[in-house]
Structure 1
């Protein structure tokens, strides 16, 4: 997560949406930069509202506009699948050795996901305690130029990103039946993403509240 004081922005690091690339490209322009441990870097909106937003307001008089990126839900989960299928320094095989993408998706959307499938959802990450997505500026991962233009305009300086944390090239097909089940379980997340795409890759004030 990055906080830009003069631009009055906070950029959330939604997991598997290119957040590391933006962090490395923009941290030199930010006044506050959370990196390293995932709990800090990938601070959810509700945790931000509960703990960090009050600190920014009370200690520094800041109420930054909230910026975030959202990825197509299937592709975001597929990125998690590839990430957890990779070999690690401690093992030649990944956590998901031999597991199909269909089986991984089924585990992710299970009522009680196993540990390897506890990846949360983008909708939950971006929602307040009451379930409302209180982000001021929401961009589609697949339309990076929109975010770059927005941030360049607000920061007064252009920047370039480089690919980071690229997932391994693994064939990960999803059956129509499992995709239909995923869309049923996460209908609100798909609907929100579709709204961003329909708006040209950028949705202002998705909650529709002042």
Structure 2
């Protein structure tokens, strides 16, 4: 999470949606950068509005606009798989197939996504959703927004890239995953 005090802007770091690159590029401009522990770095909309925004509002008597990125839902799960695959390779463990990973995700999504579950829950949970959500796949729109809001040119590095992997699914498993992520797909489709 990055807080830009003077600009009244807060970047909420959606896991597996480019948050590390954004933080590397923007931390020098931020008034406050929360990078540890992961529970605070990846504060969701509900937690931010319940705990942090009231404090900011009390100190400034002003509203802080929230902004975040959202990744295409299937690609988001693929990214989590590659993240777990990298960890398995680091530990010389046998890597599970993507099909098995998705079945495990369908059984208990929060176990495999550091408690996040779904992007829709992260971005819209609670009473107040994130103010501005941009598609991860349309990074120019996001950086143009930041260029204007922060009054400087933003260039994001390409870092924290997980290894390539076979991320094919059987039609039945993909259909089940699409059903489980229905709220994510609806939110993603609404982003212009």
TM-score by length of 1: 0.84
Alpha-carbon distance in structure 1 between the residues aligned to 2:68 and 2:120: 11
Partner of 2:12: 12
Aligned-pair Cα RMSD in Å: 2.0
Instruction: For residue 90 of structure 1, report the CA deviation from its aligned partner.
Output: 6.8
Task: Provide the residue aligned with 1:194 in structure 2.
Answer: 189
Contact preservation (8 Å) 1:70, 1:141: yes
Total equivalences in the alignment:
191
Higher mean alpha-carbon deviation, 69-78 vs 35-44, is at 35-44
**For 2:109 and 2:6, how far apart are their aligned partners in 1?**
41
Deviation at 1:11, TM superposition (A): 0.7
Provide closer, same or farther for how the CA distance between residues 140 and 10 of structure 1 changes in structure 2, counting only shifts above 3 A: same
Deviations 1:153-177 (A, max 9, x none): 0111002111121101112212222
- The alignment partner of 1:173 has SS state of coil
Match of residue 127 from structure 1: 124
Q: What is the CA distance between 1:62 and its match in structure 2?
A: 3.6
User: SS at 2:165's partner residue?
Assistant: coil
Bigger Cα displacement from structure 2, 144-153 vs 187-196: 187-196
Q: Who is 2:67 aligned against?
A: 67
CA-to-partner distance for each residue in 1:116-159, whole Å, 9 max, x for gaps? 465511011112325x6x12111000000000000000111002
Question: Which region of structure 1 is more displaced relative to structure 2, 169-178 or 7-16?
Answer: 169-178
CA deviation map 1:6-45 (0-9, x unaligned): 2221111000000000001001111111113211111111
The answer to whether the 8 A contact 1:108-1:119 is kept is no
- Structure 2 alignment gaps of length 5 or more: none
List alignment gaps of at least 5 residues for structure 1: 200-210
Secondary structure at 2:152 match in 1: coil
Q: Counterpart in 1 of 2:98?
A: 101
Identify, as 1 or 2, the structure richer in helix: 2
- 3-state DSSP class of the match of 1:109? helix
How far apart are residue 189 of structure 1 and its match? 0.9
Is 1:144 equivalent to 2:136 in the alignment? no
